[in-house]
A and B are shown apart, each in its own frame.
Chain A
Amino acid sequence: MSDCHGCSVAAAILPPPPAADAKQRVVAIIGPPNSGKSTLFNRLTGLRQKVANFPGVTVEHRMGRVKLDPGREVFVVDLPGVYSLNPRTEDERVTHDVLLGEMKGLARPEAVLLILDSTNLSRHLVLAAPVLSLGLPTLVILNMADDLARRGGEANVQELSEQLGTPVALVSAAKGEGLDKVFQFLEGATAATHRKPPLIELPVIQDVPKCRAWAAKVGSQSRYQAPAPPLWTRRLDAIFLHPVGGVAVFLLLVIAVFQTIFSAGKPLQDAVQPAIDASGRWIGGFIANESLRSLVVQGVWGGVGNVLGFLPQILLLSFFIGVLEDSGYLARAALISDRTMAKFGLQGKSFIPLLSAYACAVPAIMATRTIENKRDRIATILIAPFMTCSARLPVYTLVIAAFIPQKPLIPFLLGTATAAMLGLYALGLLAALATARLLKSTVLKSSRSSFMLEMPPYRWPTLTSLGLRLLDRTKVFLWRAGTVILVVAIGIWGLTYLPPSSHGDIGTSFAGRIGHAIEPVIHPLGFNWKIGIGLITSLAARETIVSTLGTIYGVEGEGGERSPSLQQALRNDLSPGGAAALLVFFAFAMQCMSTMAVVRRETGGWKWPAVQFAYMGVLAYLGAFVVNRLITAWV
């Protein structure tokens, strides 16, 4: 504290520090879950923010710049939501380490913004005890002031400030009200702010009941009036958690997600594709050298196109999940689905991410951020790519159309092709659930009692927060995943186009040679070297195998997976056992570099994507082998 007095005097005399120095100034935002921490962070920083992982941990944090008046700025770090600073979970350890300046690569914050839910103050004030005992300049921000006032509660800022010995601000982060006081504090905090010891002595911070008693005392001394219960939330819960009505709403939601996936996902992708192709040709027009043109158009632009094609449905799903999360319904959906998910060792919060994985594993894996339990989160990330994503559909459509004659199984209801498709969906789901069981009973075991789910009051989602979320997802996908995807895409282009002596003939290219080389390995699955090439190119993205096979059989551009000549060529080249094996292989294998890149980003390293790739690869190989043997013996 004596240091602070020193610099406050110095700040009064000296001119504002130069900009280079200001870059080092860090202020931490800390608060319990559901206190509106992220909303405040977004309000303060706007678009000047980035997401980062701390070295060696899966906990992510967001850094942002806050512009202050006289051309100064301060870095704000948004820490994970915690109820205490006892370093037991990874989230708490990270928060603890950052606040004590023990986190590598981040200077110790010189001030703290402690954000608490003003409608639930006595409980949230518990976190004030350990935070105030750190001795850092602290602004206590009472959020949701609008809610508090509407429900007839009252918080006395002046008296609470005296009780705590530190400034207090009453704000509504969602509406942007009362934030000037936060900016004032940030300006002051970059110099120094006085703090007095709290009037009621701080409790031993390890003792939860004592901390809670302290918080209650502070609340009543500052004449805090708790608000009436949230009536609208109770009314809505009477519908959404009704034994019959609630389940009906939940099922409608599931159907709506599927409807979105099938009616909007693929068409959106198809709508973007012509634009990408046209722009690729346009770029190609400027390049005279043939090899260079192929590299740019097919390698780079093709890779970019692969990525961009998925962006619309990723954003659509992220928007959908964002509305569910911000409105508070996500917690209700988790509650309703928990019992079913628990049978497979998972929990309710895994449900919506897994559901969206039917469109694409990328937004699903990003959506697992809401799962606080790290082991449950990793398990959900690991099984998400088993869900039948839209990239598998072209492959399934091609092989099923080529090998399974369309006959009605149940007249007017179910044909053989549809049954085969449904079977593949079931196969993916089965693999996912079995893997979840396996993981949760071994390496990712966690106590069943660790499921505790807070039901936040319902709120209107704000466009600002939804917009920022979409921007964040786009950034992660294009920049973080995009770099990996681009490298892989160029690498695969190199394999199919080089050496120059192959003159663009894929059969004699490196990919062709690898296809020939791995033929002995994939022969037991019923695949020849041509399928081998398809497996290599589909490492980039599953649906790539369709265009690769089109190139190999010389039937390019004839309607992709629906091309009759491609189906005919495949029938000549693949046994029924091999065809079934190919379907099973695609159901299980992790052939998606976008997913790999996102898993790496979300788990903070290559360990989990490597485990996932190996596990799914082995499962795909074994599954395809067994199916090929069974069908070959049977037919």
Chain B
Amino acid sequence: MQLDGATMMPQGLEFKQTRFEIWFKMQTGFKKRAQPKRPAAARNLMELRRGEQGVLERIDLPEDDARRLMELGFLPGHTVIPAHSAPGGDPRVFRVDGTEIALRRETARKLILRDGLPDKPEADSARG
């Protein structure tokens, strides 16, 4: 959380830091962008900014849910782009395989991204 970092600041700096962070958050929209280096742990769908393209690596969910997600188009190697979300950011709509699917936050966290290119960059899914 953003504010956790701010509360650990020395007393005098707290106000400015918080305001700066709020401003920064408003400009960038997502915490991860503030960090120059990507963390070693694999990113998941929730860490994508709106409109940012990600490539799916795997789904860390029980067989049945994972299957349904794959049938809806969440297949390894496919590109996923976050679109709109409900107020509060949950659930969130993702563009995948030519359609838009809304997932709850805890589901989206289980969809792990990989670094690199999609399997078939020429596929029609890229146009979605």
Contact = CB atoms under 8 A, between A and B. Distances in A.
A208 interface: yes
A30 B120 CA distance: 29
A216 B123 contact: yes
B52 interface: no
Contacts of B4: none
B128 interface: yes
Interface stretch (A187-195, A282-290, A445-453): A445-453
B101 A453 contact: yes
A219 B124 CA distance: 9
B62 A447 contact: yes
A455 B102 CA distance: 7
B28 interface: no
Contact of B93 (A123, A219, A335): A335
Interface string A328-345: 000100011011001000
B76 A447 contact: no
Contact of A216 (B68, B71, B110, B120): B120
Nearest to B67: A208
B62 A122 contact: no
Given A336-B86, A339-B91, A447-B65, A453 B102 contact: yes
A216 B120 CA distance: 10
Interface residues of B, number: 39
A21 interface: no
A226 B93 contact: no
Nearest to A247: B87
Interface string A434-458: 0000000000000111111111000
A605 interface: no
A339 B62 contact: no
A452 B127 contact: no
A217 to B, nearest CB: 10
Interface in A169-218: 208-209, 212, 216
A472 interface: no
Nearest to A33: B72
A209 B76 contact: yes
A229 B64 CA distance: 30
A88 B67 CA distance: 10
A143 B69 CA distance: 23
B88 interface: yes
A279 interface: no
Contact of A120 (B71, B99, B102, B110): B99
B71 A84 contact: yes
Interface string B40-72: 000000000000000000000110110111111
Contact of A83 (B71, B88, B93): B71
Interface in B69-123: 69-73, 75-76, 83-88, 90-91, 93, 97-104, 106-107, 110, 120, 123
Contacts of B103: 451-452
Nearest to B108: A449
B91 A451 contact: yes
A342 B65 CA distance: 18
Contacts of A226: 98, 124, 127-128
B71 A208 contact: yes
A268 interface: no
- Counting chain A CB atoms within 10 Å of each CB, the highest count among B69, B72, B73, B102 belongs to B102
A208 to B, nearest CB: 4
Interface residues of A, number: 41
Nearest to A224: B124
A455 B100 CA distance: 5
B91 A88 contact: no
A454 B101 contact: yes
B123 A122 contact: yes
Nearest to A450: B65
B18 interface: no
Given A216-B123, A219-B124, A335-B102, A452 B64 contact: no
A454 B100 contact: yes
A22 interface: no
Given A208-B70, A336-B86, A449 B110 contact: yes
A452 B84 contact: no
B91 A335 contact: yes
B76 to A, nearest CB: 7
Nearest to A82: B71
Interface in A281-300: none
Nearest to A209: B75
B61 A123 contact: no
A123 B87 contact: no
Contacts of A209: 70, 75-76
B17 interface: no
A122 B125 CA distance: 8
Interface in B25-51: none
B127 A123 contact: no
Contacts of A451: 91, 102-104, 107
B75 A449 contact: no
26 contacts: A83-B71, A84-B67, A86-B67, A88-B67, A123-B98, A208-B67, A209-B75, A216-B124, A224-B124, A226-B124, A237-B84, A241-B85, A331-B102, A335-B93, A338-B86, A338-B102, A339-B87, A339-B88, A339-B90, A448-B106, A448-B107, A452-B101, A452-B102, A453-B102, A454-B101, A455-B101
Interface of A: 83-84, 86, 88, 119-120, 122-123, 126, 208-209, 212, 216, 219, 224-226, 228-229, 237-238, 241, 243, 246-247, 331, 335-336, 338-339, 342, 348, 447-455
Given A84-B71, A338-B91, A449-B65, 4 more contacts: A237-B84, A449-B61, A449-B106, A451-B104
Interface of B: 61-62, 64-65, 67-73, 75-76, 83-88, 90-91, 93, 97-104, 106-107, 110, 120, 123-125, 127-128
